[in-house]
Amino acid sequence: MKTKTLDPKVIQHAAKVFRAVSHPVRLALVEALEKKKRSVGELASALKQDQAVISKHLAVLKKAGVVTAETDFNFRFYSLKNIHILDVLNCIRKSCGEGS
């Protein structure tokens, strides 16, 4: 069975997304946003990182189209924009998890 060749634009977009999630903190952010939207402060606390560090990583993920942000009063809440990134996360869990 022959597989369909990916469009070069799709390959470019995929590379951009993979670069964005290739950092351990950014992967942890995707995982932290798996179930619900969270503020920068919540994410910083959950990941035990400074808010400035989390904000910089979120900016990279947002630019790549992985997360989106909404403002509610003085708080900015982040959530996954592309939920298909969870398929990548699950693939990582299966192929790089314990016992692999």
Banded pLDDT at 58 (limits 50, 70, 90): very high
Per-residue pLDDT at 1: 60
Banded pLDDT at 57 (limits 50, 70, 90): very high
| Cβ proximity of 38 and 78 under 8 Å | yes
Using DSSP, how many helices (H) and how many strands (E) does the chain show?
5, 3
Banded pLDDT at 73 (limits 50, 70, 90): confident
Res 99 pLDDT > 60: no
10 Å Cβ neighbour count for 39?
Answer: 17
Res 92 pLDDT > 90: no
CA atoms of 38 and 6, how far apart (whole Å):
34
Banded pLDDT at 54 (limits 50, 70, 90): very high
pTM for this prediction: 0.86
Report the topology of domain 9-89.
Arc Repressor Mutant, subunit A (1.10.10)
Residue 41, C-beta contacts closer than 8 angstroms, at least 6 positions apart: 51, 75
